[in-house]
Amino acid sequence: MKQMATTSQQGVPYRPLGLIASALENAGFQQTFVYEDLVFVEYNAFLLRMEENGASVSLFFNVDSEMDKREHIAHEIKQSGRNCNLDVIHRGSYRLTHDDEKESIDIAFFESGL
Protein backbone atom coordinates (compact mmCIF):
# COMPACT_ATOMS: atom_id res chain seq x y z
CA MET A 1 0.00 0.00 0.00
CA LYS A 2 1.39 3.40 -1.03
CA GLN A 3 1.54 6.05 1.70
CA MET A 4 0.86 9.74 1.09
CA ALA A 5 4.01 11.81 1.35
CA THR A 6 4.06 14.18 4.30
CA THR A 7 6.55 16.59 2.76
CA SER A 8 7.06 17.94 -0.74
CA GLN A 9 10.26 17.66 -2.72
CA GLN A 10 11.39 21.05 -1.36
CA GLY A 11 10.96 19.90 2.25
CA VAL A 12 7.72 21.85 2.69
CA PRO A 13 5.15 19.82 4.64
CA TYR A 14 1.70 18.91 3.35
CA ARG A 15 -0.69 21.74 4.32
CA PRO A 16 2.07 24.04 5.64
CA LEU A 17 -0.11 26.25 7.83
CA GLY A 18 2.85 27.48 9.90
CA LEU A 19 4.76 28.62 6.80
CA ILE A 20 1.65 30.28 5.40
CA ALA A 21 1.03 32.10 8.69
CA SER A 22 4.65 33.31 8.66
CA ALA A 23 4.42 34.46 5.05
CA LEU A 24 1.20 36.35 5.77
CA GLU A 25 2.62 37.98 8.89
CA ASN A 26 5.81 38.98 7.06
CA ALA A 27 3.68 40.62 4.36
CA GLY A 28 1.62 42.49 6.97
CA PHE A 29 -1.53 40.34 6.83
CA GLN A 30 -3.31 38.18 9.37
CA GLN A 31 -5.14 34.90 8.92
CA THR A 32 -8.61 35.14 10.36
CA PHE A 33 -10.01 31.64 9.83
CA VAL A 34 -8.76 28.24 8.69
CA TYR A 35 -11.01 25.49 7.35
CA GLU A 36 -9.42 22.30 6.03
CA ASP A 37 -7.18 23.49 3.14
CA LEU A 38 -8.44 27.11 3.11
CA VAL A 39 -6.87 30.05 4.95
CA PHE A 40 -9.11 33.12 5.04
CA VAL A 41 -7.21 36.38 5.36
CA GLU A 42 -8.12 39.90 6.50
CA TYR A 43 -11.73 39.07 7.32
CA ASN A 44 -12.46 37.44 3.96
CA ALA A 45 -10.74 39.88 1.58
CA PHE A 46 -8.82 36.96 0.09
CA LEU A 47 -7.93 33.37 0.83
CA LEU A 48 -5.11 30.95 0.28
CA ARG A 49 -5.78 27.34 -0.69
CA MET A 50 -3.17 24.74 0.21
CA GLU A 51 -2.61 22.37 -2.71
CA GLU A 52 -1.49 18.71 -2.79
CA ASN A 53 2.16 19.73 -3.17
CA GLY A 54 2.98 21.45 0.13
CA ALA A 55 4.93 24.26 -1.53
CA SER A 56 2.03 25.15 -3.87
CA VAL A 57 -0.48 27.69 -2.58
CA SER A 58 -3.30 29.25 -4.61
CA LEU A 59 -4.44 32.83 -4.03
CA PHE A 60 -8.08 33.81 -4.59
CA PHE A 61 -9.66 37.22 -4.01
CA ASN A 62 -13.20 37.68 -2.76
CA VAL A 63 -15.33 38.95 -5.66
CA ASP A 64 -16.34 41.86 -3.41
CA SER A 65 -12.76 42.88 -2.55
CA GLU A 66 -11.29 46.14 -3.79
CA MET A 67 -10.02 45.59 -7.34
CA ASP A 68 -7.41 48.35 -7.16
CA LYS A 69 -5.62 46.68 -4.21
CA ARG A 70 -5.42 43.16 -5.61
CA GLU A 71 -2.24 43.53 -7.68
CA HIS A 72 -0.27 44.98 -4.77
CA ILE A 73 -1.55 42.35 -2.34
CA ALA A 74 -0.76 39.53 -4.78
CA HIS A 75 2.79 40.85 -5.23
CA GLU A 76 3.35 41.08 -1.47
CA ILE A 77 1.97 37.61 -0.80
CA LYS A 78 3.97 36.02 -3.64
CA GLN A 79 7.23 37.63 -2.47
CA SER A 80 6.68 36.74 1.16
CA GLY A 81 5.70 33.21 0.14
CA ARG A 82 8.92 32.81 -1.84
CA ASN A 83 10.87 33.76 1.29
CA CYS A 84 9.12 30.84 3.07
CA ASN A 85 9.72 28.38 0.18
CA LEU A 86 6.11 28.64 -0.97
CA ASP A 87 4.99 29.07 -4.58
CA VAL A 88 1.94 31.34 -4.39
CA ILE A 89 -0.07 31.56 -7.62
CA HIS A 90 -2.97 33.98 -8.18
CA ARG A 91 -5.71 31.70 -9.50
CA GLY A 92 -8.77 33.95 -9.57
CA SER A 93 -11.62 34.88 -7.26
CA TYR A 94 -14.28 33.31 -5.07
CA ARG A 95 -17.75 34.04 -3.71
CA LEU A 96 -19.23 32.97 -0.39
CA THR A 97 -22.97 32.48 -0.10
CA HIS A 98 -25.06 31.45 2.87
CA ASP A 99 -27.44 28.54 2.34
CA ASP A 100 -30.27 29.12 4.84
CA GLU A 101 -31.87 25.77 4.08
CA LYS A 102 -28.74 23.75 4.85
CA GLU A 103 -27.48 26.25 7.44
CA SER A 104 -24.12 26.29 5.73
CA ILE A 105 -21.78 28.47 3.73
CA ASP A 106 -21.07 27.62 0.09
CA ILE A 107 -17.94 28.72 -1.72
CA ALA A 108 -17.61 29.04 -5.50
CA PHE A 109 -14.19 29.43 -7.11
CA PHE A 110 -13.71 31.28 -10.39
CA GLU A 111 -10.31 30.43 -11.82
CA SER A 112 -9.11 33.03 -14.27
CA GLY A 113 -5.90 31.64 -15.74
CA LEU A 114 -3.79 34.49 -14.34
CB 114 within 8 A of CB 92: yes
Nearest Cα neighbor of 65 from 96, 37, 20 is 96
Please, which residues have CB within 8 angstroms of residue 64's CB and are 6 or more apart in sequence?
Answer: 95
Q: Which residue range is the domain that position 30 belongs to?
A: 17-104
User: Is 4 part of a structural domain of the chain?
Assistant: no
Q: Looking at residue 24, what DSSP letter applies?
A: H
User: Is 7 part of a structural domain of the chain?
Assistant: no
User: Is 2 part of a structural domain of the chain?
Assistant: no
Please, which residues have CB within 8 angstroms of residue 19's CB and are 6 or more apart in sequence?
Answer: 12, 13, 84, 85, 86
User: Is 41 part of a structural domain of the chain?
Assistant: yes
User: Is 5 part of a structural domain of the chain?
Assistant: no
User: Is 65 part of a structural domain of the chain?
Assistant: yes
Model pTM? 0.86
Q: What is the residue-level pLDDT of the chain in tens, covering all 114 positions?
A: 334 444 444 588 999 999 999 999 999 999 999 999 999 999 899 999 999 998 999 999 999 999 999 999 999 999 999 999 999 999 999 999 988 888 888 999 999 854
CATH classification at residue 44: 3.30.310
pLDDT at 10: 57
In total, how many domains does the chain have? 1
